[in-house]
Amino acid sequence: MKKSLSISDASRETGLSQKQLRSYEARGYISEPFKVRCGEIAYRRYTAQHIAEIKAFKRFVDEGFTLQAASKKIKEKV
């Protein structure tokens, strides 16, 4: 994997849509990626640690945990 991934690459890697990634980030369910500024625009960049966290979050949700419970479980592991 590259050092960091764009949101579209993170979406492909995790199986979550870009909209879901943005929503879960905004709600605090997953860690905020770091941002790279290019002029007025800030691009999200996801590290391997972000991707692992998102995959774990998705796995818990797929197992039937609520979004809040899945978020709590991944934060307990950190």
Secondary structure of the chain in HEC code, one letter for each residue: CCCCECHHHHHHHHCCCHHHHHHHHHCCCCCCCEEEEECCEEEEEECHHHHHHHHHHHHHHHCCCCHHHHHHHHHHHC
pLDDT digits (tens, 9 = 90+) for 4-24: 999 999 999 999 999 999 999
Is 70's pLDDT higher than 60? Answer: yes
pLDDT of residue 2: 66
What residues does each domain of the chain span? Answer: 7-77
Class of domain 7-77: mainly alpha
pLDDT tens sequence across 31-42: 999 999 999 999
Q: Which two tokens stand for residue 66?
A: 């609520």
